[in-house]
Amino acid sequence: MAPLLQVHDLQQRFDASGGFFDRLRWRDGRLSAPRRIVHAVNGVSLSIGRGEVLGIVGESGCGKSTLAKTVIKLHQPTGGRIVLDGEDITGHDFARMRPIRSKMQMIFQDPYASLNPRQRVCDIVMEPFLENAPGKVRDAKDRALALLAKVGLGPEHADRYPHQFSGGQRQRIGIARALSVEPELIIADEPVSALDVSIQAQILNLMMDLKDEMNFSYLFITHDLSVVRHISDRIGVMYLGFMVETGSTEAIFDTPKHPYTRALLAAAPVLGAPLAAAAEEIRGEVPSAFHLPSGCCFRTRCPLAFDRCAAERPVLRQQGDGQAVACHLHDATAIAPTLEANA
């Protein structure tokens, strides 16, 4: 069966140069108005099957959230293709997106900003449903109560306003809102990162229980490796808008191949384990998304970088078992760096 969501070579660039007068520069005796382009997502491909959880991990600012918001068409992608349930929705405008909205919903990062402070909870959770199924207003209240019950909130909460709830409860409301149209895919953009650690597990378990019950898929964005390990079937590792490694959760955690993935796993503290070897430590800062490095995006920080890394941009190559890596070190056809050094 075809996967539920397929994303091919998705690109998202933003013009961050501002108005004409902000761009105006005097350079080399000439007036010019250069544009500043943020390369947020640079050719990401992924696919999610029905009932599957794909976790996307990466540092802050690596384009994970932009990827999520582009897939759900909050941003119009600048390149690539998004295919949901066999339908290419890349170029869909607002009107053509409307029937799609009930297939794909989103859970947001900040439970304090994602609920309208002037709306009652029952109105918040029913909004997607009423917008997509007009005319069924009569049983809306009952549906709202059923939804709230599903996420662990009582009927007494329905008429309250968001500010009367804690962060965890607010996120439950956000989840109920996403569920109101019974979507097939839920995009969760760091849904627990703004919550207390003690609440995170509750919300994650709720999200997984709901998935098992209603059998939808997740595109789960997070920077927390323990979270992604806990919930994902497959994992994609992002760096600077590129997907550097994908594979099953076991493969990524047991046999990470990309130097960045290894460094990421080594940097995560594990209870009871000795601190990671210094060799896997990455130094320096993430390069600016305004000026991407040539070749491999990770070469500026990679301890194993060699000549080819600056010259050629690596693409994801299958390594067997569904694991794929974008790294010249794992390109079987290439000359290994040690050989090159000897030559």
* Residues near other proteins (CB under 8 A): 19, 69, 72, 74, 94, 97-98, 101-102, 105-106, 108-110, 113-119, 127-128, 131-132, 160-161, 163-164, 174, 177
CA-CA distance, 233 to 235, in Å (whole number)? 7
**Phi, psi of 165, deg, nearest 5:** -120, 160
Alpha-helical runs (H) found in the chain: 20-23, 64-71, 94-101, 121-132, 140-150, 167-179, 197-214, 225-231, 249-254, 259-267, 307-311, 337-342
**25/98 with CB nearer other proteins:** 98
Q: How far is the CB of 269 from other proteins (least distance, A)?
A: 30
Asked if residues 217 and 48 have their Cβ atoms less than 8 Å apart, the reply is yes
- What's the closest the beta carbon of residue 296 comes to other proteins, in angstroms? 33
Q: Could you tell me the smallest distance in angstroms from the CB atom of residue 95 to other proteins?
A: 9
Question: Do residues 214 and 225 touch, judged by C-beta distance below 8 A?
Answer: no
Q: How far is the CB of 268 from other proteins (least distance, A)?
A: 27
The CB-of-225 to other proteins minimum distance in angstroms stands at: 24
Q: What is the largest CA-CA distance in the chain?
A: 78
Residues with Cβ within 8 Å of residue 201, at least 6 apart in sequence: none
Q: Which amino acid, one-letter code, is at 67? A: L
Give 81's Cβ-side CA count (13 Å radius): 9
Cβ nearer to other proteins, comparing 117 with 272: 117
Q: Rank residues 163 and 291 by Cβ distance to other proteins and give the closer one.
A: 163
Q: Measured from the CB atom, is 87 or 321 closer to other proteins?
A: 87
Residue number, 115 or 210, with CB nearest to other proteins = 115
Nearer to other proteins, 185 or 240 (CB): 185
Q: How far is the CB of 174 from other proteins (least distance, A)?
A: 8
Pairing of strands 79-84, 5-15: antiparallel
Tokens read off for 147: 């939804």
Q: How far is the CB of 150 from other proteins (least distance, A)?
A: 18
> Are the beta carbons of 276 and 267 closer than 8 angstroms?
yes
Retrieve residue 253's tokens. Answer: 């955690």
CB of 196 to other proteins, least distance (A): 19
Select 171 or 319, whichever has its Cβ closest to other proteins.
171
**Nearest CB to other proteins, comparing residues 133 and 310:** 133
Place of tokens 């390149």: 79
Q: Rounded to an integer, what distance in angstroms lies between the CA atom of residue 325 and that of residue 338?
A: 20
Shortest distance, position 263 Cβ to other proteins, whole Å: 31
Please identify, using beta-carbon distances, which residue of 191 and 247 lies nearer to other proteins: 191
DSSP secondary structure string for all residues of 83-138: EETTEE-TT--HHHHHHHHTTEEEE-S-TTTSS-TTS-HHHHHHHHHHHHSTT--T
